[in-house]
Amino acid sequence: MSNIKLITPISRRDLLRVAVPKGTASYSPVPHKKVIELTLEQLDKAGLKVLSEAYHMARNGNQARGSYEIGIKDKEMHLKLAWHNSYDKTMPVRWAMGAHIIVCENGMVVGDLGIFKRRHTGTVLEDYAETIKEHILQAGSMFDTLKNEREQMKNIDIDSRTRAELIGRMFLEDKILTSTQLGIIRDEIENPSYGDYGAPGTIWELYNHGTVGMKQDHPTSYIDHHIKYHNFFRKEFKLETV
Confirm if 66 and 83 have CB atoms less than 8 A apart.
Answer: yes
If asked whether residues 74 and 116 sit together in one domain, one would say yes
CA distance 96 to 81: 6
DSSP secondary structure of 97-141: EEEEETTTTEEEE-TTSS-EEE-SSTTHHHHHHHHHHHHHTTHHH
Q: What percent of the chain has pLDDT over 90?
A: 46
If asked whether residues 169 and 83 sit together in one domain, one would say no
If asked whether residues 39 and 14 sit together in one domain, one would say yes
| Residue type present at position 127 | D
For the entire predicted model, the pTM comes to 0.79
136-158 per-position pLDDT tens digit: 888 888 889 889 999 999 999 99
Q: Residues 17, 86, 35, CA angle at the centre, nearest 5°?
A: 70
| Confidence (pLDDT) at 113 | 43
78-89 per-position pLDDT tens digit: 998 988 899 988
If asked whether residues 100 and 164 sit together in one domain, one would say no
Which residue, of 82, 109, 138, is where some domain finishes? Answer: 138
Number of domains in the chain: 2
User: Which domain covers residue 169, as residue numbers?
Assistant: 150-236
185-230 per-position pLDDT tens digit: 999 999 988 877 889 999 999 999 988 878 767 666 777 888 899 9
If asked whether residues 102 and 178 sit together in one domain, one would say no
Q: Residues 80, 35, 108, CA angle at the centre, nearest 5°?
A: 20
User: Is residue 89 domain-resident?
Assistant: yes
